[in-house]
Structure 1
């Protein structure tokens, strides 16, 4: 019963329905408290009238409706969304494919789903409730209105939560809802002309850095190799952040060529990424040489992040440096007027690989994405172009990596001026 003082009270149906009036309430309207038949909890409703006879009619009708809904298996009491969210946050990480996936889902649930369902009580999750949630989401944002792509991603995140709640018995029915189909515009990437312009600029950038202070030279060395590695592997910035020296491997393919493999942990879980070119090993060597020099000739431990500060801690973001780089190089915007971002390196990788005839399925697996996503954003390619890829077998032969040699001497690497042109293919 409410905390306010009750001045009148009437009970019916063996106490399952109670009508009451509260002190200091305008018009002295009757309120109704109804015990859920064969269940737990109460429902509270306002009758909208101060007439006891009309209030009784309202209560009887409500009681009959609730009994019918219970009989056909509907859930009539409000779910405690904060408790469901707390349980999800505690248990889902053990089931999730990656910490990044957990972070993305919880960010949406806490920033938007929780505030929405604190104002709009949740009885049963269904398509109507989900539609209302995302209608509200489009009007409520922190910095700018969400794009359709953002809404689709958040719907996927919410679906994971809803399915988890169903498996845990919070909902009797599995929620199903349609996500709007969108005609996506191409994602910002570097075309061949701008990529060539950027790689030519990198040579001058390196030359200029040699005449500057130590920190500038270090930052540019790290940035250049970061750009070349991401553009030739297609890994996500978040995957690069957690990449360690122990995650690098090699194998000799059936064609006799050396291949570089990166073990990454992305939002879709761990996977092997085969780099486009063995030159990626050269870019890694440059970073390894830099770290060995900074450590007084001692090699960095295999557990150290590849993209690390001088103290060995991971570089959290290259965003500021990358934005300055492409602006100075004159390639800040693509041909559609979209501002390029670090993710543009991943999109560049995908675009160039498809143009070179790589099969969608093979490429999707290497990138940790779906064929549908590639088709939506990057167009189509010849399905027969990668027939040889699907019939290859992998050799188990393995060469030692440069930093695995017994000598602690840093691996010397070719000057970027002689190597960067290899990426302009």
Structure 2
């Protein structure tokens, strides 16, 4: 892998000896808020590269640009030497498969049907799966250890089991490049290790994999190379031992760490030390639509640690939270808020320094809003000066209003190693 040099652009006419993936001068922004800029790296064939960094660093955004679902403001993504912008969405899907952070489906598909979706890029509009497609599905389910769930509804599975099914769907796609957005989220340590060992096996067989991983120690143990994103760009890239240093982590995370070696390996072991200074404000956003999405962008841009929910999956606020590596508690579109989602959102609101409402919040989120000690409402054309006892503030003044609030009495002492998301 080459780091942030910007010198690895491949000519489409060259042979296939160059890197499988090349990202050159990538820049992305939302609502005029820059997320990443000047991102340059390349990934060699048959290697596993981890994207690491604090929440809001843009890991998911970079993955979505590589997948082609987001058009960058600037820059080029090349796969096997060819710019993906020159290809149709279906052609890109034959090159790149991905597993998302979210595990929600709007309809009650079986596990087998979910995995079969991975064959879509290989089928014409009216084509049916043939024996080769069915073999690819069976092999993918076996490799991801979900064959025993084949006939069960996807919605009946646990979060970790759903994550494995989505990995099987990506494997069924049979692409040379695999993108993994938090592949160990919702997995216990045993299944997290098994998942990354499976990815290692796939890489040994020639596949190229890129994974956004919050757990620095798992990333150090299983990734060949790391790209550390922070502050809108790449802070370090290379072998894990060269990236995960105390100085680099202090610069990227604003935290003090002790870096040693994981027992039995040469991989770095990162241990967070007690924070010497208070961390930035935690804010939980409740709402939907562009007002809530804009509030998320504004708060993340100001350095806040943001969570969102409960909101429908696919809503722009949930998508924005995903783009900015923020935890989003979601439910399927047009479904009510279930107890598990409400309880998680209440936990996040209680842990936050402030709850911010923006756009339509819905009656089902009243318990979430009431769980916060301090609540601010983003001012809109329809909002009165005061609403339900909440101070209203203009979007432009939201970061200053949050910064003026006293921080929570207690903070999470270990935000680096497991910042898993549930969106």
TM value normalised by structure 1: 0.22
* Richer in helix (by share): 1
Higher RCO, Cα 8 Å, sep 6+: 2
Q: Which has the larger radius of gyration?
A: 1
TM value normalised by structure 2: 0.23
